[in-house]
Amino acid sequence: MAEKARQVKDFSFMQSTVYIEDILNHRANDGTEVTLQGWLYHKRSSGKLLFLLVRDGTGIMQCTLFKPSLDAKTVEAAEGLSQEASLTITGTVHKDDRAPGGYELQVSGVTPMGSSVDYPITPKEHGPEFLMDYRHLWLRSKNQHAILRIRHTIIKAIRDFFDNRGFTLVDTPIFTPAACEGTSTLFETDYFDTKAYLTQSGQLYAEAGAMAFGKAYCFGPTFRAEKSKTRRHLTEFWMVEPEVAFADLADNMVLAEQFLEYIVQTVLKDRAEELTTLERDTTKLENVKAPFPRVHYDEAVKILKEAGLPFEYGNDFGAPDETAISEKFDRPVIIHHYPSAVKSFYMKRDPGEPDKALAMDILAPEGYGEIVGGSQREDDYEVLLARIKEHKLPAEAFDWYLDLRRYGTVPHSGFGLGVERTVAWICGLQHVRETIPFARMIHRLKP
RNA sequence: UGCUCAGUAGCUCAAUGGUAGAGCGAUCGGCUGUUAACCGAUAGGUUGUAGGUUCGAGCCCUACCUGAGCAGCCA
């Protein structure tokens, strides 16, 4: 703890202010006078006592005023504060078990800053639609703090994982000249009198990165214009896509399972408090350790048949199918060798099973569905060109992509992980809309 | 786009076809230890829109608007 305190001190840049987390983490001593700057979270009174709950983004501190021992002006200022009004408050730190967090501030002075009249979000219940309308204010509440801090940790874990393994970050473009996969509906924009589309995947560019750096990854927003209205879909979401030269499907699966294990174990270690706030049952997350079960498509179909689900061999799995399969396992499950017909043009087919692609998806437990999709890529120029034509894609748009096969082609593999679905799963949320600060959905472009 | 459901006070919700209500929030008052405090009072409504049935519609019917859940698409 002392080590941590020193570290924070060294990086401090706010000379005049103490943060609430400093007090709660015992970095400010009992009996010292401090000044906090923050917002009023809640107010309660009991006769001559006034309790102000002040938040500053790092924590919540109960501030206590005994009215008779303060001047009238200070009391008036404190009583005039409403929910989410901003303030500067000075007082003495006291350890008190009756205070939430074990510490409170015995107030000597209050200076109101910005007023807050009729703050829309009250401490009681609200519906999701109302809260999403006030998302810019909803971010101030406790559960949203927990979710977005976990998101922050997941994103940091993603970067650390690849950075520590010698991957190079290759940022891929958001404006693209054509569909990456040719399937999804894309957002179209006017680009100096020609059409450009918002990217639905950085993968093709990440492949160029892998041929340049051996191990590369891209990480950025992606866009899908499908009119999806489910708890698993956003029109704008973040995806990380590693791509590795000389890696085959088996290597790809090992990378993906180690990656997911690292993310989940990092969150369990660094965000235990936030998971408690969200009342997440962490026993199911503790299981997330490699190796994950590997299930061939044919086996997965057998599981569905045994479960009595109506499923036609050769189709891709629907959401209820994915749930049924994932329920059979206590950790994420890797499904591989999907029928080539239901997968993208760039996925290499297995020479031993020509109707199957060297593809793999990872299904998260507890019904959270597909969080990873990946494959070994087609590395043969002629085959890839034929596949582009089969899918009726404009070959001229892919000339640069074909160059990757023309000049020193190698076997290579990669996958994409959806950040919001991962956050929803780890946090145990019902809907991905809370996993990103400002969600974009078919009926939501604001705030 | 299809199926299902919903729309009543600022918010969350009640109200057999028969006088539109509660809790929270707001405002005022009370209480020296509150923990989503508690107690008392006050204000707050064109029941999503338009039409229809009926002596009478928040409730029944039709259309429309808005949104949600599920499906498809996918991460």
Q: Is the C-beta of residue A319 closer than 7 Å to nucleic acid chain B? A: yes
Q: Is the C-beta of residue A126 closer than 7 Å to nucleic acid chain B? A: yes
Q: How confident is the model at residue A296 (pLDDT cuts 50, 70, 90)?
A: very high
Residue nearest to nucleotide B75 (CA to C1'): A418
From the alpha carbon of A443, which nucleotide's C1' atom is closest?
A: B67
Residue A253 or residue A231, greater confidence: A253
Q: What are the tens digits of pLDDT across the range A413-439?
A: 999 999 999 999 999 998 999 999 999
Q: Is the C-beta of residue A224 closer than 7 Å to nucleic acid chain B? A: yes
**What pLDDT sits at residue A26?**
74
Interface residues 328-357 of A with strand B (CB < 7 Å): 342
Q: Stretch A61-82: mean pLDDT, rounded?
A: 90
Kindly indicate whether the ipTM for this predicted assembly is greater than 0.90, answering yes or no.
no
Q: Stretch A254-272: mean pLDDT, rounded?
A: 97
Same fold, A2-112 and A135-435: no
**What pLDDT sits at residue A2?**
38
Share of chain A above pLDDT 90, in %: 62
**What pLDDT sits at residue A1?**
35
From the alpha carbon of A68, which nucleotide's C1' atom is closest?
A: B32
Secondary structure of chain A in the HEC alphabet?
A: CHHHHHHHHHHCCCCCCCCHHHHHCCCCCCCCEEEEEEEEEEEEEECCEEEEEEECCCCEEEEEEEHHHCCHHHHHHHHCCCCCCEEEEEEEEEECCCCCCCEEEEEEEEEECCCCCCCCCCCCCCCHHHHHHCHHHHCCCHHHHHHHHHHHHHHHHHHHHHHCCCCEECCCCCEECCCCCCCCCCCEEEECCEEEEECCCCHHHHHHHHHHHCEEEEEEEEECCCCCCCCCCCCEEEEEEEEEECCCHHHHHHHHHHHHHHHHHHHHHHCHHHHHHCCCCCHHHHCCCCCCCEEEHHHHHHHHHHCCCCCCCCCCCCHHHHHHHHCCCCCCEEEECCEHHHCCCCECEECCEEEEECEEEEEECCCCEEEEEEEEECCCHHHHHHHHHHCCCCHHHHHHHHHHHHCCCCCEEEEEEEHHHHHHHHHCCCCHHHHCCCCCECCECCC
Q: How confident is the model at residue A6 (pLDDT cuts 50, 70, 90)?
A: very low
In this model, does residue A8 exceed pLDDT 50? no
* CATH class of the structural domain A135-435: alpha beta
**What pLDDT sits at residue A3?**
39
In this model, does residue A5 exceed pLDDT 60? no
Average pLDDT, chain A: 90
Q: Is the C-beta of residue A158 closer than 7 Å to nucleic acid chain B? A: no
Query: Which nucleotides of chain B does any protein CB come within 7 A of?
Result: 1-2, 10-13, 23-27, 30-38, 66-75
From the alpha carbon of A241, which nucleotide's C1' atom is closest?
A: B75
In this model, does residue A7 exceed pLDDT 50? no
CATH number for the domain formed by residue range(s) A2-112: 2.40.50.140
In this model, does residue A125 exceed pLDDT 80? no
From the alpha carbon of A99, which nucleotide's C1' atom is closest?
A: B35
**What pLDDT sits at residue A360?**
96
Q: Stretch A325-342: mean pLDDT, rounded?
A: 93
Interface residues 233-272 of A with strand B (CB < 7 Å): 233-235, 237, 239
**What pLDDT sits at residue A393?**
83
In this model, does residue A72 exceed pLDDT 60? yes
Q: What are the tens digits of pLDDT across the range A20-58?
A: 988 888 766 788 899 999 999 999 988 889 999 999 999
Q: Is the C-beta of residue A274 closer than 7 Å to nucleic acid chain B? A: no
Q: Is the C-beta of residue A64 closer than 7 Å to nucleic acid chain B? A: yes
Q: Is the C-beta of residue A187 closer than 7 Å to nucleic acid chain B? A: no
Q: Is the C-beta of residue A88 closer than 7 Å to nucleic acid chain B? A: no
Separation between the CA of A128 and the C1’ of B19 (whole angstroms): 35
Sketch the domain layout of chain A as residue ranges. Answer: 2-112, 135-435
Q: How confident is the model at residue A15 (pLDDT cuts 50, 70, 90)?
A: low
Q: Is the C-beta of residue A76 closer than 7 Å to nucleic acid chain B? A: no
**What pLDDT sits at residue A31?**
85
Q: Is the C-beta of residue A122 closer than 7 Å to nucleic acid chain B? A: yes
From the alpha carbon of A362, which nucleotide's C1' atom is closest?
A: B75
Residue A89 or residue A117, greater confidence: A89
Separation between the CA of A418 and the C1’ of B56 (whole angstroms): 57
**What pLDDT sits at residue A237?**
94
